[in-house]
Amino acid sequence: MKETLADKLNNHTAVIGVFGLGYVGLPLAIEYCQQGFRCIGFEISPKKINMVNSGKSDIGDVSNAQVKSAVSKKLLKATADFSLLKQCDVATICVPTPLSKTKDPDVSFILRAVEELRRYLHKEMLVILESTTYPGTTEELILPILETTGLKVGKDFYLAFSPERVDPGNATYGTKNTPRVVGGHTPKCQKMAKLFYEKAINHVHLVSSTQAAEMVKLLENTFRSVNIGLVNEVALMCDRLKIDAWEIIDAASTKPFGFMPFYPGPGLGGHCIPIDPHYLSWKLKSLNYYSRFIELAGDINSHMPEYVFERVTRLLNKHQKPIKGARIVVLGVAYKRDIADLRESPAIDCIRLLQKQGAKVQYNDPYAPVIKMEEGEKGMHSVTLTPTLLKSADLVVVLTDHTCYDYQWIAKNARLIFDTRNATKQVRGHSKKIEKL
């Protein structure tokens, strides 16, 4: 009697296929290797394939030792040979879902993975999409492609959606202890997906459909984008009211119920929060609904670099220093603290705006030694932070509040600081030279 998928999951002989060994796929594969499952990572990047197979990780949340251990135990291998999908009992799709130039969803990575899956789909296979996408993607886009094989969903193979919830750099929550939301296309699909995730993840939360699971993720990230947009607008209001926005937010945070602090910043970075809500608004537009909150928050957040530029110009003027020729040192260019990721980083937009008006900008970021600016723009290298560098700057701008910086030392040596992250809140004795967003 052929072993069922349930049997293979229960005796840990199921082979797990992971499309995309990025910040979602690699931690997921490692989790399953640690439970003794064999995992095959399907990658299009030869560099990534060689790196993983030589026991190395380029993902901050996964150590080289973890990859080396999984590879040496022959539990993990990376490959571009999609025919190995024949050996897989589960296939999770963890590929990027960016926006196109016209701000429409770009599901081409998902489609490329599903096309390969179609060629090797077999009975008792479980397919799970984890990439963040608009409600309906799993049922309207993926299912029809897989059913061209003649296999029936819920009977021959199983299909589910479970949103990834990776928070890069989060030392408390990782793949294993972050609750998983799972929606199956049929009850049997859901049952199999639940059984799969329970083998490596502490808590699984079931919802009634793949659309519901797709919508959960978009609510989570739209919630962040809209609240960050709100607090960025509060910063603009407080600027006009001559009130310290950070003081207001800290005070509001003393309310033990009904409030959750978000903080102003130079804009929205990362590959999720600036992008995911537009997947939702795009889908709703196709249903003749205009998602006002999403569009408004997107507008406010995307204009924060221009606001930072306006504040910097105003501050330099106050010190009789024109922006043109001003020597500016930027601290931190990653899209958020204590990580190396530069994707959609608003810091780069801020630097570009300053350079465009003739400022002489240098940056320091211990996590980002190089910034590859756009086509035709000169790349930049992180400069070493020295007292001389700080003293010679007309202005030091904190754009990313890495915790490795000694802000007291920076304030001691800098002549003037514009702090967009309230990173200098613990600094004593230099308040006259510090202005905050």
* Binding positions for ligand SAJ, rule: CB under 6 A: 132, 164-168, 220-221, 224, 228, 262-263, 265, 268-270, 272-273, 335-336
Taking the C-alpha atoms of residue 417 and residue 434, their distance in angstroms, rounded to an integer, is 5
Shortest CB 281 distance to ligand SAJ, Å:
16
> Which residue's CB is nearer to ligand SAJ, number 66 or number 301?
301
* C-alpha to C-alpha distances, 60 to 22, 44, 47, 367, nearest whole angstrom: 10, 20, 17, 11
Shortest CB 262 distance to ligand SAJ, Å:
4
Contacts 24+ apart (CB under 8 A), 261-265: 262/224, 262/227, 262/228, 262/230, 262/231, 263/231, 263/421, 263/422, 264/231, 264/232, 264/234, 264/235, 264/304, 264/420, 264/437, 265/228, 265/232, 265/304, 265/346, 265/420, 265/421, 265/437
Nearest to 304 by CA among 272, 264, 254: 264
- State whether residue 339 is helix, strand or coil: coil
Angle at 134 between CA 133 and CA 138, to 5 degrees: 75
> Which residue's CB is nearer to ligand SAJ, number 184 or number 264?
264
153 pairs with which residues across the strands?
Answer: 157
> Which residue's CB is nearer to ligand SAJ, number 38 or number 421?
421
> Which residue's CB is nearer to ligand SAJ, number 61 or number 124?
61
Shortest CB 364 distance to ligand SAJ, Å:
18
Nearest to 195 by CA among 50, 35, 430: 35
33 catalytic? Reply is no
> Which residue's CB is nearer to ligand SAJ, number 272 or number 427?
272
CB atoms closer than 10 angstroms to residue 147: 16
> Which residue's CB is nearer to ligand SAJ, number 38 or number 336?
336
Shortest CB 374 distance to ligand SAJ, Å:
19
Shortest CB 165 distance to ligand SAJ, Å:
5
Token readout for 138 is 């799993």
Nearest to 41 by CA among 59, 23, 29: 29
From the list 189, 272, 350, 404, the catalytic residue is: 272
Which residues does the annotation mark as catalytic? 272
